[in-house]
Chain A
Amino acid sequence: MTDRKTLQTEKISGHSGPSPGLGMQRDFEVCKLVDTTTCIGCKACEVACVEWNDMPFGMTTFDNTYQTMPETRWNFWNLIKFNEHQREDGTIQWLMRKDQCMHCADPGCMAACPADGAIVKYTNGIVDFNQENCIGCEFCVSGCPFNIPRFNPGTKKVYKCTLCSDRVGEGLEPACIKACPTGCLKFGSKDDMKFIANERARQLKENFGMENAGVYDPQSVGGTHVIYVLHDATDPERYGGLPKNPTIPWSYTVWKWLFKPVLGAFALFGGLGVLMHYVSVGPRRPQPEPPEKEAANGNGD
């Protein structure tokens, strides 16, 4: 059983009382390390992500950049962001950063989500969406400080990188890690990844003249389970809008303890209303299915 302990639930969204499966602890937190200083922007991770998750191809349009599309989509969870940064001496630095769910220790999506069990955080750090329970309210979209969750208008559900919880649960590395040809993507325990990242940052400072090299593991969201080595950690914004101090909107951190009991009461009344409606009107009749084409082509942007 030990190798199956990777995916043990720590807490789930919108759920009062103890989470199911709690207490079966995994030994360590997992982490993905992205070394932007050795990323070559080859997009193998993008392809691996699409293929492993069996996502339908979408249409893209040339947009004056090497970047595949402006931002991630419901069917494209892993996107390398290309940015041309002008240094003070006028020279250009071409930055490539693999953008995907950061798997925050303190996930904004989860704080925002009102649907019971739609968002799961495992003890190994993976934050996963369970579309079966998703109500499509898109609160998670606005709750995320990294602009990651994407709504699929076809299915009316929200999707994002799962950190390949299906693979990790079987003791495999995520698909993007496996596909990376240069080794700029690494996967392992959070402690190990932090160690490697810090050593690399030290090497960049000492041997490659990058005084501001550092590791991005923002503590404002309790740290993340995707961490970056950056050439210049003082300015993460230049890497395609990586926030310096990502925070969950206060409204989401506050609303639950403030309003949850009230909403609970509303829910109770709502339930009673449904019952009354059933008694007085009768059962819901089947509605025609939405056309399938829409689901397949919904790009979410």
Chain B
Amino acid sequence: MTNGWIDIKNTDMMLIMGGNPAENHPCGFKWAIEAKLHRNAKTIVVDPRLTRTAANADMYVQIRAGSDIAFLGGVINYAIQNNRIAHEYLVNYTNAAFLIKDGFKLPEDGLYSGFDAEKKTYDKSTWNYEEGGDLTGKPPAPTPEGQNAPAGQGAQHSDTGKGLGYQAASPTGAKAGTGAPALPPNIAFDLSLQHPRCVFQLMKKQYERYTPEMVERITGIPQAEFLKAADLFTSVRKDGDMKKVATIIYAVGWTQHSFGTQIIRAAAMLQLLMGNVGRAGGGVNALRGHSNIQGATDMAGIFDILPGYLKMPNPNDVDLATYLKRATPTVSKPDPWDSFNYWSNTPKFTVSLLKAMYGAAATKDNDWAFNYLPKIDRNYSWVNIWNDMYEGKIKGIFAFGMNGVMIGPDSNKNIDALKKADWLVVCEIYPDETSEFWRAPGITADDQKKINTTVYRLPGAGFAEKDGTFVNSARWLQWKNAAVPPPGLARLDQEILATIFLKVRDLYKKEGGKFPDPVLNATFAYTTPYNPSLSEVAKELNGKALADITDPKTNITIKAGQQLPGFAWLKDDGTTSSGNWLYCGSWTEAGAMMQRRGTDDPSGLGIYPNWGWSWPMNRRVLYNRASCDGGGKPWDPQRRQVWWDEAKQSWVGSDVPDFKPDSAPKDHMGPFIMNPEGIGRLFVPLGAMADGPFPEYYEPIESPIANPLHPAQSSNPVVKKYKTDMDKYGTLDQGFNVVCTTYRLTEHYHYWTKNNPMNVQLVPEPFVEVPAELADRMGIRGGEKVRVTSARAHYIAKAMVTRRIRPMKIDGKETFQIGIPIHWGFRGISEDEDRTAKTLANQLTPTVIDPNAFTPEFKGFLVKIEKV
């Protein structure tokens, strides 16, 4: 979240789309209700189903699963056409005024400039700003010959990712480094926003095609209804008034598509266009689906980043200097403006991380042990891992805190992949489908004899049996205490992991190996190495001074061994260590900031500055400089977060300014300090996105229609399908005529609570939500069993016949959608009592992933449905 849970209470308008917070985040949803009760805030819910969130909304709009970009593009178009935009914000805080290189082409035919049809990738050299300075009021210059050809720098950029098929993600979209050196240092701009190649005009042109008629054809939302929703949402910017603010709230309903990242981009653009980012009650707010998903991401639970969203080294990074050159962006901005470019500190964060990881073994002479870090040579995202295992390239897997078989996509492929593995280690609190993949329905006793995978089951501890932190969606680190000790032989995760690590290290010590140094030299200085205390780990993540260090400005000294007060202290000379620069400040000499329980809220904005600790540096709203006008005065004096104090020559406020504190408004430093331009990106230049600098609407991989915008390029051009015999994709012609989506219920938590009688009592059995009209046609009555079949497998459950999903007209054709909750498998209370068909929702879902975040397309695939 750019903002936070409690901050939702400050909003005037909520667009909830691609998420179902009332069901999946009921405790957080109280803040949406606070906004309704105390601010008369309005809620628009756009969802394939009338959910419990929609039941609480002022307006519910039923959309075809997967068509979100068409809707958002339509709203962008509506906002521009009706001047519901934040003009001053747009000109000064976004790249609306920046000029894009000649030769850049919008995707009228579904393709941006630079597409290589063979490799299915883009040469992104034209996706860049033009060099040049202030062109405000000047007529566009005639196109110089040769600018259409890729510039040298651009070509250099596209080389950096060659053969890897992945790009690093970052929390801000700043994409530390990828191609950043190729951005021009002095960007050409036109503050009148009239130049045909300025971002605003290009954006306007791109989304002019997303007319209400087009939105209706693609999404199935009748024009009148769409216009009503667009009018309501953009009404906060009526007559250019900046006081009101709107928020956009989403979850995996947006990410789980073959263009998921671009849906979120579209939302970010809309929010920038309307001046809603950085403000109390505004922002682009991802609701994380588990209690510590945010923490897992921050700590690099993803293959392509290091802790703190530092880029993962690749084989081309032959030494630290090469890596840092690639990973550290240089400033790129209009000359008269200023840019903080906070990622310019990447070397300090990186060296401090290496010092935390390798301690004394990391020295200046050995490049701070940079060569100990693994260099990833290919895409190790989730679906690729299972694909590699299926192809026999991965021999074993550790499954901690997840149920790999159930998670899918294409659970059958995952089961078959495990059959081919040599070993499997599962740490769980229940017998789960992954550790018992060998007894999945359909596997006979004879089949079982042929499975040679050795399965080790480790007894883990439940969440209430562990202490440590959860990092919530609002980036708050909150310490929790264990309620009860783990039962029986169950062990804490850190004990299990530390034991394995120490045993492996012993083996390396005794037997050596190809490259034992990273393992032998890893820092492991915990008081009880076999069961490290998590407070020691937390302190290590925060980091400490390794020598006495003095800030030249304030003359304050931090002594060697002391905890660091914040990441501004981090150094690239080996005198500091920090396991995650973003967490620096969370456990200081003043104590465990993450354990604080202060309930004072002086501003009344729900900032609660003394409760827990949020990264970065306890800022509750990111980019909060943008909550003020150019002069540093809050857009809304009633919701003052930060402001410029002329007397103190400093930014001050109720929240911690997310900005250079002494940068005066006249210097025109951009509020989006993680981008090298300092501004919010409507247009994402160069390599940050794989599939386009603007989000373009593409059909899901399995779709009932050809894309009405460009039928010849219907789906995302850079998406690659998998090629094993298991990877099948269905079409309308094969009879897969119903759009299907998957989701969770409030009554269950993923695949655990099917083992808990209370939850099972609340919702005992799997079901499929079927529109009443479709059920009538198929002769299906509520409670009767149906078979849902995709190109990959079938799923059997009882039908919930409902009027909460209506038939839709998609491109003129009547189309039905159905929905399947994901919670049931082949182990659990109802399963063990033979009350279910023991099929898994994710046996249906396709193996296809978003090209930016590599998330599978769990929403909006094709099936057929029949009565059993």
Contacts and interface: CB of A to CB of B under 8 A. Distances in A.
A203 B42 CA distance: 13
B33 A184 contact: yes
B757 A57 contact: yes
Given A41-B52, A42-B22, A58-B761, A92 B804 contact: yes
Nearest to B54: A94
B382 interface: no
Contacts of B53: 40
Interface majority SS on B: helix, strand, loop or mixed? mixed
16 contacts: A38-B37, A40-B55, A40-B746, A41-B55, A42-B23, A43-B747, A51-B758, A59-B764, A60-B762, A62-B765, A64-B799, A91-B60, A94-B804, A96-B52, A183-B30, A207-B40
B55 A57 contact: no
Contacts of A91: 60
Of all A-B residue pairs in the complex, the 3 with the closest CB atoms, nearest first, are: A64-B782, A40-B22, A94-B55
A200 B761 CA distance: 33
Given A40-B26, A57-B761, A183-B30, A62 B50 contact: no
B56 A38 contact: yes
A58 B760 CA distance: 10
Interface in A44-59: 44, 46-47, 50-51, 57-59
A249 interface: no
Contacts of B783: 62-64
B764 A62 contact: yes
B419 interface: no
A64 B53 CA distance: 20
A181 interface: yes
Given A38-B36, A182-B29, A84 B803 contact: yes
A287 interface: no
A72 to B, nearest CB: 13
B798 interface: yes
Nearest to A58: B761
B590 interface: no
A86 interface: yes
A259 to B, nearest CB: 42
Chain A, interface SS category: loop
Contacts of B764: 59-62
Interface in B725-770: 746-747, 757-758, 760-765, 767
B27 interface: yes
B218 interface: no
Nearest to B42: A208
Interface string B21-62: 011001101100110110010000000001011111010100
A50 B758 contact: yes
B26 A42 contact: yes
Contacts of A184: 33
Interface in B783-804: 783, 798-804
A77 to B, nearest CB: 14
A104 B60 CA distance: 36
Contacts of B765: 61-62
Contacts of B782: 63-64
Interface in A16-56: 37-38, 40-44, 46-47, 50-51
A65 interface: yes
B33 A182 contact: yes
A147 interface: no
Given A62-B800, A200-B37, 4 more contacts: A59-B761, A64-B799, A181-B30, A182-B30
A142 interface: no
B798 to A, nearest CB: 5
Contact of B758 (A38, A57, A61, A66): A57
Contacts of A47: 758, 762
B746 A41 contact: yes
